[in-house]
Structure 1
Amino acid sequence: MLERRYRVDSLIARGGMSTVYRGLDTRLDRPVAIKVMDAQYSGDRSFVDRFEREARAAARLHHPDVVAVYDQGVDHRPDGDHVFLVMQLVEGCTLRDLILDRGGRLPLAMALSVMAPVLSALGAAHQAGMVHRDVKPENVLIGRGGSVMVADFGLVRAAAEAGTTSGSIILGTVAYLSPEQVTTGAADARSDVYAAGIVLFEMLTGRPPYVGDTALSVAYRHVNDDVPPPSELVPEIPQAIDDLVFRATRRDPAQRPENAEVFLAELQQVRTDLGIAPVAVPVPASEERTTQMAPAAEDPPTEQIPAVRETPPVGPQRTRAMARPATGDHTQEFSAVAAPATGPQRDRRRGRRTVLVWTVVVLALAALVGGAAFWLGLGSSVQVPRLVGEQEAVAQQALEGAGLTGNVTKTYDNTVAEGVVISSNPNEGSKARSGSTVDLVVSLGEPKVPEIAEGTTLAEAESAIRNVKLQPKHDESADQFHTTVPEGRVISVNPGPGTPLNISAEVTVIVSKGPPPVKVPDVRGMSKDDAFTTLRNSGFDPYEAGRQFDSDIAGDHVISTDPAIGSEIRLVGKPRIGVVLSNAVEVPSLNGVRVDEAKQQVAALGLQLDVQAFFERDGMMILGQLPLPGSKVEPGSTIHVTAF
């Protein structure tokens, strides 16, 4: 348990800076991911202070594509402190898992569908004045249902600006570091844009643009080389995508998009120009498990950094601590690591020429085979009919009539009616080989608020809303008390289920605050049995909390309660209510009673008898008494009587 609230369960991932566990918030009964920082950071006061500030800043980021930060803290123990961060638990995989599952690279439409929410999340951070500093596939999570989320805002900055590293150390993942991070350690929104451009390159080609013998040799390439166009590795990638990657990865920060929002706008424009519709982002079946971002791992000092091999990395890319070169001419700064790469670079150039020759040979053979197939009647082509604006069934019939087949992808659209074709690939009038497939994008119409069952978890409700391209919003001020829905579970949504909305419109999720508070009933003056019954019927667990004297309350009747009568108590479990009873004794009537009988009677009540008589004899009768009959006195009190 951390801070007697967060239960630490199974291990999810481990790295040099932190370890991530699946956990449970026992107060809210909510599954969470718990990132526990390494002991070398927990003992650093400057890191803890910076960590707390960055965690608070990250927690203010409310965006559907950002992994939510719920809490942060320091658990103090005799064996040392545990600095931890509590985050949203994402069920799914990382972008790294998805790339590997797809054979090393993603289709263009899928890569753009992943990059759009990544840039949306970074854009929200940039608007809030935050910089991620460590954008990479391991920090991009793919949730079940196709959600794409970015994790780990601010942690690299917390480590970099604390006393754990010196001014000459760079923290980051070398494959995605921007030139300015390498040369000066400075990072702003354009540094995140550069890293996002590298991630896009890797999704399209299956490898980052730079590899080398050491981490510093890779950093050297970032500073001195322009990122090559992705089409050099995957020729079918359009020129517009090459240009997009080029603009995002310019070595001069001033020539890049100024932030992720601008980069996202450029990406959306390119996608529109190329007619590439959004596609669903799948979770690999083999990776359908609980995950959180693989934690950024700070490697040992520079001289102990493991070699970065020539082959493209296939595992997680780790956050590194690396010596930053002194200021000055970059060629001189990196000359020591540049020289050993000369041989491999010469071999790579020779290899590229060999690949080019064989490519020409293969293309020539393909042309010959294609021509022969055409003359044999296998390459007959047909014209793609008019499809856009038609109902799906009509479009499918038109394709069948032309000897083509349709592959349908459905997506929401604010203006195109449900069931109508939005776009086709190839477009109307294009030539297509007979029997080939035409991709159709069919409208689902405007998104409609989904049906959310009462009692659904907040995470499940938010996922269902995102799945229909709407944006969930949890406003705690709108939460309500509810007698049957447990605290933290969903009561309803606003607008209600079935309401049509524009894409990305907000849907407020109303969450239960648990049962409404109940007032402690007024049981003053009641007998003990009646008071206990009344309290139990109100949902409380009564117990006797002592006795005291009250001249107005009969014995064994209620004087007060703890909490006090009228207090509002939330019925979480069965709250205990202490009941204070009166110990008062009611004075009996002794007039006309023989003295010996009166003594026995008052003794049974815990009282004493004081007899006043002129002539004491056996069989005396009581003629008067004080206190008067019916009075309430404390136990042990004396009753004064006059006898004759």
Structure 2
Amino acid sequence: MPKILGDRYRLDAVIGNGGMGEVWRAHDQLLNREVAVKVIREHLADDESIRERLRTEAHLAGSLHHQNIVDVYDYGEHPDEHGRTTPYLVMPLVDGVSLSAMLKSRVALPVGETMSIISEMASALAAAHEAGIVHRDLKPGNVLLSASGRVMILDFGIARSTGGESLTKTGALIGTADYLSPEQASGRQATYASDLYALGIVAYTCLTGAPPFHRETDVATALAHIQAPIPELPDEILASGIGPLIESMLAKEPGQRPSASEVAAIAGELATTVPTEVERATDPDATQPGVTTPTVGVAAPTGVLPAVSDEATAEVVTEDRQRPRRTVLISSAVLALAAIIFALLYINQPTQVEVPDVRKMSSVKAAATLASKGFKVETHDVDAAGYKPGVVVTQSPEAGSDADKGSSVDLGVATGFVAIPKNIVGKSYEDAAKIVDKLGLVPQRNDQPSGETAGTVTTVDPSKRAEPGSVVVLTVSTGSGGNDSKDEKKKGKNKKKTTVEPTATATTEPPATDADADAGDPPAAP
């Protein structure tokens, strides 16, 4: 790791780590100020899509100037003597703690404090949406609470302009599973309303200490976003009047969610002041300790706050404060009416429907397709040749059959490994090699003496599963060596003793060939 990036930024100490890279406390030698620098990890630096993600983050976040959004000062790609490039992003150094770190310490937050956080986050989203930018990965780890109590959103790494191109492949999940909107989980494009759904999940998590739709796997979590009802909030939380706001933000249909400015106004009415670090350290009822060393994640730099006046959010928060509350309540009534209509329609629908064909789909898309038909989904792993990880290989019941609504469809999902057939052992090397080659593996012969028939495969390594394109060692019996083969022992028992005269010529018959080897056909691909 170079100590100075771009002949300007001196890296002093690591203050955060994550999957993509490290965040360093650094000194800007040109402007003589402390900054935070996010540096991509070396093994990811050669990936053009990663570099494009950072460029996009710099461009989008750099175009947003709001007191609740962390600024981006600079983006660069530092070349080294080996021809490699180190991408980096420069941000202000904000002294504070991430919301995710606070929740780990305090588990849950009171309604007033939660609404303060949500109101400021909504103000930031309103500014981003006004600029035509969708964040797409809103979560506690991307929210920073400064030492003065200000709430700031960061990490626009997978954000996009509403008119821009996606940085990911079609059908791929964008965002974090626990905070993914139903439309994103179904493979549709994220919109402004998707950010509001994620904000609703953040609010629910702050209030209860856990995201509402978390399941054991990302696929199950995504499916829960699509079809599971919102877990009911505790009575003491509902008594605050927060229920309709949370319900409207977590509406399954994007069109039924409020706007960011509406949420900012409503949450502001229920808000109290967010405690500063000093207040948390001195309040005997607070479990969050005072921060002496900033606690941050990959995208949670800490340090100097952007210079934005407190008046910047006044217009967003206070604009039309009465109308938004009525809008949310009306949306809740519409939701209730829609639920009644749906129930009546469901009663009159047939109890059995045709099972769609979801083979060769990604497991997420398959789950969404089945959920739209009223089915539940169960999955299990399958080692299968010719399938990428996460693709559906088998389904039960079969496509085209009729099944009860509400019943489960079991999906066999590819692991990315290839299963090694058990019947390879005992075959001739030629036949075994054909099977291995057809599976996308590389056969390698290893001759060894054994008591088995010469030319047949005795062991396979690996014996159960292998990565596509890897070598499979086929150990083949030579039928000779340390021990006689079974055929030779048998011949020895039946051989008659003969006397050969000194002048006679000894003759031998050519050895018999093994015509009984099982040629077999390689198994068909699943």
TM-score band (shorter)? 0.5 to 0.7
Question: How far is 1:253 from its partner?
Answer: 0.4
Establish whether residue 325 from structure 1 lines up as the match of residue 365 from structure 2: yes
Structure 1's unaligned 5+ residue stretches are 297-321, 341-644
Which structure has more RCO (C-alpha within 8 Å, separation ≥ 6)? 2
Question: How far is 1:46 from its partner?
Answer: 4.8
1:236-279 per-residue CA deviation (whole Å, 9 max, x = no partner) reads 4326211110000101001001x31122123235x2xxxx6445
Establish whether residue 262 from structure 1 lines up as the match of residue 262 from structure 2: yes
Alpha-carbon contact 1:106-1:203 (below 8 Å) kept:
yes
Query: Which residue of 2 is the match for residue 285 of structure 1?
Result: 289
Separation in structure 1 between the aligned mates of residue 363 and residue 79 of structure 2, nearest angstrom: 33
Alpha-carbon contact 2:186-2:364 (below 8 Å) kept:
yes
Separation in structure 1 between the aligned mates of residue 276 and residue 250 of structure 2, nearest angstrom: 25
Query: Which residue of 1 is the match for residue 91 of structure 2?
Result: 87
Q: Which amino acid aligns with 1:325?
A: K
Question: How far is 1:185 from its partner?
Answer: 4.4
Check 1:18–1:227 CA distance in 2 against 1; reply closer, same or farther (3 A cut).
farther
Query: Which residue of 2 is the match for residue 562 of structure 1?
Result: none
Question: How far is 1:142 from its partner?
Answer: 1.1
Instruction: Give the counterpart of 1:112 among 106, 110, 115.
Output: 115
Matches within 5 A, 1:240-639: 240-257=241-258, 259-269=259-269, 271=270, 277-282=272-277, 284-295=288-299, 324-326=364-366, 328-330=369-371, 335-337=376-378
Q: Which amino acid aligns with 1:254?
A: G
The alignment partner of 1:328 has SS state of helix
Check 1:277–1:138 CA distance in 2 against 1; reply closer, same or farther (3 A cut).
closer
The alignment partner of 1:244 has SS state of helix
**Residues paired across the two proteins, number:** 304
The alignment partner of 1:325 has SS state of helix
Question: How far is 1:162 from its partner?
Answer: 6.9
Question: How far is 1:335 from its partner?
Answer: 4.3
Establish whether residue 183 from structure 1 lines up as the match of residue 223 from structure 2: no
Instruction: Give the counterpart of 1:97 among 93, 96, 101.
Output: 101
1:203-246 per-residue CA deviation (whole Å, 9 max, x = no partner) reads 11111112222111111100111322322xx5343262111100
Separation in structure 1 between the aligned mates of residue 363 and residue 26 of structure 2, nearest angstrom: 36
Establish whether residue 35 from structure 1 lines up as the match of residue 31 from structure 2: no
Separation in structure 2 between the aligned mates of residue 47 and residue 339 of structure 1, nearest angstrom: 31
Alpha-carbon contact 2:124-2:153 (below 8 Å) kept:
yes
Separation in structure 2 between the aligned mates of residue 263 and residue 236 of structure 1, nearest angstrom: 18
Q: Which amino acid aligns with 1:267?
A: A
Query: Which residue of 2 is the match for residue 140 of structure 1?
Result: 143
Instruction: Give the counterpart of 2:28 among 13, 25, 29.
Output: 25
The alignment partner of 1:48 has SS state of helix
Question: How far is 1:290 from its partner?
Answer: 2.4
Q: Which amino acid aligns with 1:210?
A: F
Separation in structure 2 between the aligned mates of residue 328 and residue 48 of structure 1, nearest angstrom: 33
Query: Which residue of 2 is the match for residue 14 of structure 1?
Result: 17
Check 1:17–1:167 CA distance in 2 against 1; reply closer, same or farther (3 A cut).
farther
Normalised by the length of structure 2, the TM-score is 0.53
Q: Which amino acid aligns with 1:285?
A: P
Structure 2's unaligned 5+ residue stretches are 281-287, 301-361, 382-526
Q: Which amino acid aligns with 2:194?
A: S
Separation in structure 2 between the aligned mates of residue 279 and residue 207 of structure 1, nearest angstrom: 20
Query: Which residue of 2 is the match for residue 381 of structure 1?
Result: none
Separation in structure 1 between the aligned mates of residue 209 and residue 53 of structure 2, nearest angstrom: 36
Query: Which residue of 2 is the match for residue 237 of structure 1?
Result: 238
Question: How far is 1:123 from its partner?
Answer: 1.2
Separation in structure 2 between the aligned mates of residue 83 and residue 229 of structure 1, nearest angstrom: 45
Matches within 5 A, 1:51-66: 51-66=54-69
Establish whether residue 219 from structure 1 lines up as the match of residue 233 from structure 2: no
The alignment partner of 1:4 has SS state of coil
Question: How far is 1:332 from its partner?
Answer: 6.4
Establish whether residue 124 from structure 1 lines up as the match of residue 165 from structure 2: no
Question: How far is 1:134 from its partner?
Answer: 1.1
Question: How far is 1:168 from its partner?
Answer: 2.8
1:597-630 per-residue CA deviation (whole Å, 9 max, x = no partner) reads xxxxxxxxxxxxxxxxxxxxxxxxxxxxxxxxxx
CA RMSD of the aligned region, Å? 2.9
Q: Which amino acid aligns with 1:249?
A: L
Alpha-carbon contact 1:91-1:288 (below 8 Å) kept:
no
Check 1:156–1:80 CA distance in 2 against 1; reply closer, same or farther (3 A cut).
farther
1:538-597 per-residue CA deviation (whole Å, 9 max, x = no partner) reads xxxxxxxxxxxxxxxxxxxxxxxxxxxxxxxxxxxxxxxxxxxxxxxxxxxxxxxxxxxx
